[in-house]
Structure 1
Amino acid sequence: MDKQLKFNEPWILQRADPYVYRHTDGTCYFTASVPAYDRIVLRSSRTLAGLPEAEEVTVWKKHEAGIMSEHVWAPELHYLSGKWYIYFAASDKDDIWALRPYVLECTGQNPMKDAWIEKGKMQCAPEDEFSFRAFSLDATVFENKGQYYYVWSEKVGVGKQIANLYIAQMESPCRLKTVQVLLSSPDYDWERVGFWVNEGPAALKHDGRIYLTYSASETGPEYCMGMLSIAEDADLLDPRQWKKERYPVLKTQESRSIYGPGHNSFTTDEDGSPVMVYHARTEEKIEGNPLYNPNRHAMLMRVQFDSATGAPVFSYR
């Protein structure tokens, strides 16, 4: 472990929805939502400890008008089918809550230097009449048994609406193969503070199971993490096979000045040990609108596993 690496304290300042991808050559790439929500940035380093000081490169900027002109949120970098892709959400200046999922494709093998092209909105399966018709964001991609799956948050209903988690199998990096399957709704009180929300999914594999963390409630101190899990050999598109934890697996801890932890991703350190990347605030009282306050900072946490169940344990210790 790099001695410079510190856990459960601000690691990269003012970067919400942090995502770290470690490529096959060992290079770590970092991206996140920037406070202005107006662009997509990347950093790279050979180590996690090197990312805070790494040069940040803007690889794409929002449009001046129309789609992808507002609220550029939660980018994720993935390497699929021999190419680099960035998945993100964005809205329209004339309809700022019309969030939809979009895809960028890199024209070369160096995501930091080669040009990125727009592939448009993520496409659902032809027979899917529901996906991406409403507020949709926070997509992630993971592989299991040679198949790729796309998990995202989408709002349904009327009034305030409810943000659910959905899953589908992918046909290609830009299109889904199957109709959406509902994975989780905000069923519990801790998922319903301010808004009824399940969002920010992230997948972690361990000992034959897939663990899918997600974030719940509004983005202040009440923001917290829940978790679903399923056996790797199960049918991932059968919601009955997924187990949902009754209580949050990570929440605010005042004694550590960590407020509203959530919207995480998973990576590994240089030794191959799992590390969770998440954002949180260091102050309980938020100045102004929590959504536009810039002080959500990327942090790191070592991931431990329960010796009896094999499930990940998220602890500030």
Structure 2
Amino acid sequence: MLNISISVPEYDRIELRRSKTIQGLGTVAAKVIWEKHEDGPMSKHVWAPEIHFIEGVWYICFAAGTVASPFDHRIYLLENNSENPMEGSWKEMGQIKTNWESFSLDATTFAYNGKRYLLWAQRDPSFYGNSNLYMAEMKNPWTLAGKQVMISKPSFGWEQIRYWVNEGPAVLVRNNMIFITYSASATDHSYCMGLLWAQTDKDLLDPASWKKTESPVFASNEKTGQYGPGHNSFTISEDGKHDVLVYHARNYRKISGDPLYDPNHHTRAQLLLWKQDGFPVFGLPVPDAVK
């Protein structure tokens, strides 16, 4: 059974869908499982919900700002003890506190070799830029266990178009390597994906363990009519044989004003292939006509 948590164009609630197939997620009814507060924390611009099943419990991490500071996001967590995430109640577990208070969003979590990690994007006020990627070990799904380390910052020109951004990390463990995709630059047609990787026998909290591609691995394509692909996740095909790349993009290039106010990112999915050297092949974002 597949579950997907989604934000909505109004940025005011979190919806959940559940289906036996990936294509079915596009047609099944969505259930609103949480709505924003009227004021204070979690009251504006609800972004990037992500659902995880950890030790028999469902969690959704998301980011939100406040009415007073709509773009000053922090990371929050919801919990549901029901076997079916479409049932039961979702409890607010509060803010996931990072090592300092600043703009932060796009949290994901993964476990490897007996340890659970949080991976997210955050601004460091001590130097120029909008967001970098950080990682820390977790004590539990809502608490960091120690110091956070920066594993990537916008260092190439394609990561610095309009905004200096590394965000939207996603993790895939394959072929004795841990791969992290992430998104870069402004959320218009410049938005694209980069790739980090580390050998599984390395210290994941040592920034030196991580290597980075010098160019995007997934980007806008005029021929297929897809622009700004990014903030992806990974899943498995229904037969369990193939990795699937899930991401959002627009099917038009021109945007009036700030792209942050254009909510028309549509969810897409396509097969992720692999090279003989063990690295993923992302290919091109498929056109709308492909089913």
TM-score using structure 1 length? 0.87
Shift of 1:160: 6.8
Structure 1: runs of 5 or more not aligned: 1-26
Partner residue in 2 for 1:256 = 224
CA contact (8 A) 2:73 2:104 kept: yes
Partner-residue secondary structure (3-state), 2:202: coil
CA contact (8 A) 2:102 2:125 kept: no
Shift of 1:161: 3.5
Partner residue in 1 for 2:179 = 211
C-alpha distance in 2 between matches for 1:66 and 1:159: 28
Q: Structure 1 residue 90 and structure 2 residue 64: aligned?
A: yes
C-alpha distance in 2 between matches for 1:210 and 1:241: 10
Q: Structure 1 residue 147 and structure 2 residue 115: aligned?
A: yes
Name the count of aligned residue pairs: 284
Once the two structures are superposed, residues 64-119 of structure 1 have per-residue CA deviations (whole angstroms, 9 ceiling, x without a partner) of 01100001000000011221110000111011122000000114222112100101
Partner residue in 1 for 2:86 = 112
Letter in 2 for 1:60: W
Letter in 1 for 2:80: C
Partner residue in 2 for 1:63 = 37
Partner-residue secondary structure (3-state), 1:51: helix
C-alpha distance in 2 between matches for 1:293 and 1:71: 12
Partner-residue secondary structure (3-state), 1:291: helix
Question: Identical aligned pairs, as a percentage?
Answer: 46
Partner residue in 1 for 2:289 = none
Structure 2: runs of 5 or more not aligned: 287-291
Runs of 4 or more above 4 Å deviation: none
Partner residue in 2 for 1:303 = 272
Partner-residue secondary structure (3-state), 1:315: coil
C-alpha distance in 2 between matches for 1:287 and 1:192: 20
TM-score using structure 2 length? 0.94
Q: Structure 1 residue 276 and structure 2 residue 245: aligned?
A: yes
Partner of residue 242 from structure 1, selected from 210, 221, 225: 210
CA contact (8 A) 1:301 1:314 kept: no
CA contact (8 A) 2:120 2:169 kept: yes
Q: RCO higher in 1 or 2 (8 Å CA, sep ≥ 6)?
A: 1
Partner residue in 2 for 1:34 = 8
Q: CA RMSD in A?
A: 1.4
C-alpha distance in 1 between matches for 2:142 and 2:262: 32
